Amino acid sequence: MTLQLTVFLSYLVLVFALGAFAMRLTRDEDDYWIAGGRLGWLLGGATLAATHASAGTFIGTIGVIYTVGWSFSWLVLSIPIAYWFTAAVLAPRFTRTRQLTLPAFLESRYDSRGVRVLGAAIILIATVVYIQAQVVAGGLIANVVLGVEPLTGMVAFTLILIVYTVVGGMIAVVYTDLLQLVVMVLGAALAVPLAIHDAGGAGSLLAWVQATRPMAFRWDAMPGTLLFTMGLAFTLGSVATPEKLIRLYAMKDLTTIRRGVLLAIVVTTVMNLMVFVLALCAIVLFPSLATGDLAMPMVARAVLPPLLGALLLAAVTAAMMSTVDSLLIVAGSALAHDIVGTLAPRFVARHSHVWIARCGVVATGLVPLGLLASGVGEGELVQFIVLLFTALMASSFFAPVVLGVLWKRATRQGAMSAMVLGVSSAFAWELWGSEAVDPVLPGFVVSMTAMVTVSLLTDPPPQSALAPYWPADSGGD
């Protein structure tokens, strides 16, 4: 336990040191929100991969595969598909203007402050849900590693995250993401062979899982519709979530984006595959866990040597932190830059933009913690909270962002309808719809339908709004 604590504390000291280093590099709002738009492919790809890999990967996914089997692991293919689409189709037009936030892009493209504020409000609300999922996982880890109450662990993790994100902004997030990615890959890569060895070797592992849990290797272990729609949620969400889109602005050009995306695809998918194998090991080694979310902490504690176990748990922590810090940046920017900046420009003009940004990060970081302290969201399986966030983001932003850069006829009324009806449909489905279909399907269909229908029924957008995205051709579609 002492060794685990030492590894943990050393890791946290490193993270803080990077945050302090980044603070010295942060000169203005550009630096704070998008790292000055200067990232190369290594840092850009690493921060994309680290943001993608979350507690959902190390706690949630392993938990779901432990519970329902290998068919769920095929959803990992949503990562290369979504990122390829982003690099090939979205990025070339999306990055033609230089914005600091996704809502600012929406205002630019649709020539509407209303679209911007609406987008920021949706991001704020949905991000709280997602941060909660990560914080719940942080509490689980703290409980296993340090023996403290989960709620104490949640508070401690959140405060640590808020401090270094507030201090260093996106630059701190990017550098800590690189460190966290290295820790994640190292932790998973070292854990897999040892866990397989403990489970009796690769052949024995597969044979044992098949013998004791025949459903683990069957396609019908989950309803086909649910599997397909979850894949749709991951794919659309990987394209349209604000914390990923904003990283396109942080990288310096399209060649960098393409290379960074390759790095993100390879690292994220390989890391996922390693985690999936750990889930099979957990089935053999701990066949009757109370919840699948305990599979990873149990592998780390009971299977691995203390140092490696500590490293793996540090990796899980890294995954959680690298996602939450990015979400804090996105939520903080939505609050400070898009909502306060748009609705109270005089206030913003009187104060330092970076100071307001930091206040935004603190405010959005404390909300999920307050909700969890009140018992809201506790006890949910982490991966399903992650899926809900992904579905809400995809239902809100996929249509306005993707059609916004591909279809000149897309209007602000269409974008607002798509966001409101999309997110409402997804949320309503989550509450009252069939569990065999992920909420992203109704959300996505309603959002796209609203976008197209309302756009066609309203006046075309002004040429001034379209010109930056179609510079060579200002005619109709």
Among 25, 38, 286, 449, binds another protein (CB under 8 A): 38
CB 101 within 8 A of CB 169: no
209 vs 392, beta carbon nearer another protein: 209
Q: Are 78 and 234 in contact (CB under 8 A)?
A: yes
User: Concatenated DSSP letters for 366-400?
Assistant: HHHHHHHHTTTTTTS-HHHHHHHHHHHHHHHHHII
202, containing H or E segment:
helix 202-212
Helix (H) or strand (E) holding 325: helix 306-333
* Chosen residue from 19, 37, 187, 365 binding another protein by CB under 8 A: 37
Report the C-alpha gap between 314 and 8 in whole angstroms: 6
Site string for another protein, 239-258 (x = CB under 8 A): -------------xxxx--x
What is the Cα–Cα distance from 106 to 117, expressed in whole angstroms? 9
Closest to another protein by CB, 152 or 255: 255
- Distance in Å, CB of 342 to another protein, minimum: 9
Task: State how far the Cα of 106 lies from the Cα of 22, in Å rounded to an integer.
Answer: 29
Tokens of residue 225, six digits? 């519709």
Which listed residue (14, 125, 273, 354) binds another protein by CB under 8 A? 273
Positions of E strands within 55-160: none
Q: In the complex, what is the shortest distance from the CB of residue 465 to another protein, in angstroms, rounded to a whole number?
A: 9
**What is the distance in angstroms between the CA of the first residue and the CA of the last residue of the chain?**
64
Which residues, in sequence order, are bridge partners of residue 39? 251
| Shortest distance, position 161 Cβ to another protein, whole Å | 26
331 binds another protein (CB under 8 A): no
- The Cα–Cα gap between 435 and 64 comes to 15
Binding mask 194-213 for another protein (x = CB under 8 A): ------------x--xx---
Q: How far is 8 from 317, CA to CA, in rounded Å?
A: 9
* Residue 321: CB minimum distance to another protein, A: 27
What are the C-alpha distances in Å from 293 to residues 87, 115, 124, 342, 347?
A: 33, 38, 26, 41, 45
Q: Min. distance of Cβ 330 from another protein in angstroms?
A: 15
The residues in 7-26 that bind another protein, with binding defined as CB under 8 A, are none
How many residues form the binding site for another protein (CB under 8 A)?
Answer: 49
**Interaction residues for another protein, span 219-238 (CB under 8 A):** 219
Of 210 and 449, which has the nearer Cβ to another protein?
Answer: 210
CB 412 within 8 A of CB 461: yes
Judged by CB under 8 A, does residue 217 bind another protein?
yes
Question: To the nearest whole angstrom, how small is the minimum distance from the Cβ of residue 431 to another protein?
Answer: 33
Tokens 């506790």 sit on residue: 378
Among positions 62-121, residues that touch another protein (CB under 8 A) are: 70-71, 73-74, 76-77, 80-81, 84, 87-88, 92-93, 95-101, 104-105, 107-109, 116
Q: How far apart are CA 87 and CA 81, in angstroms?
A: 10
To another protein, the closest distance from the beta carbon of 467 in angstroms equals: 6
Work out how close the CB of 368 gets to another protein at its nearest, in angstroms, rounded to a whole number.
27
CA atoms within 13 A on the CB side of 11: 30
User: What is the DSSP secondary structure assignment for residue 410, as one 8-state letter?
Assistant: -
Residue 232 CB contacts under 8 Å (≥ 6 apart), including other chains = 394, 438, 440, 441, 444
Q: Does 406 bind another protein (CB under 8 A)?
A: no
259 is a site residue for another protein (CB under 8 A)? yes
Least distance from C-beta 146 to another protein, angstroms?
Answer: 35
- Residue 28 near another protein by CB under 8 A: no
Within 8 A by CB and 6+ apart from 253, the residues are none
Q: Are 187 and 315 in contact (CB under 8 A)?
A: yes
Contact between 462 and another protein per CB under 8 A: no
Say whether residue 218 binds another protein (CB under 8 A).
yes
Nearer to another protein, 101 or 383 (CB): 101
* Closer residue to another protein, CB minimum distance, 152 or 474: 474
Binding site for another protein (CB under 8 A): 37-38, 70-71, 73-74, 76-77, 80-81, 84, 87-88, 92-93, 95-101, 104-105, 107-109, 116, 206, 209-210, 217-219, 252-255, 258-259, 262, 265-266, 269, 273, 467-468, 471-472
